[in-house]
């Protein structure tokens, strides 16, 4: 369980870094294809992992899952409306 949470935390951190880097650069300097596919892939993995760990119903993981869900929501909100349609809620 701990390794699953560590992996999900790592995916979350990587995704946030990609989102922040994408926001930092002028839109004309970086094609969307550079970051968006990886961000979408990471968010899908994160959502799937959260659902799996949540389904395991481990008491010790509840707080970590709560934080990961919050991070997921914040990162999803950093996407444009069109982009959010490609990522599960």
* Spans of all domains in the chain: 2-84
pLDDT, block means (10 residues), the chain with 89 residues? 84 95 78 81 94 82 90 92 83
Residue 88, pLDDT score: 75
Residue 69, pLDDT score: 93
- Sign of the dihedral through C-alpha 59, 64, 86, 79: positive
**The model's pTM:** 0.83
Residue 35, pLDDT score: 86
CB atoms within 10 A of CB 5: 19
Residue 3, pLDDT score: 65
């Amino acid at each position: 369980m701990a390794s699953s949470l560590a992996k999900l935390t790592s995916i979350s951190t990587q995704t946030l870094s990609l989102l922040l880097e994408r926001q930092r650069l002028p839109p004309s300097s970086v094609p969307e294809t550079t970051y968006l596919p990886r961000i979408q892939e990471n968010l899908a993995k994160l959502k799937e992992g959260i659902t799996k760990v949540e389904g395991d119903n481990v008491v010790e993981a509840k707080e970590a899952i709560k934080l990961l869900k919050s991070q997921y929501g914040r990162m999803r909100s950093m996407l444009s409306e069109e982009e959010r349609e490609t990522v599960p809620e």
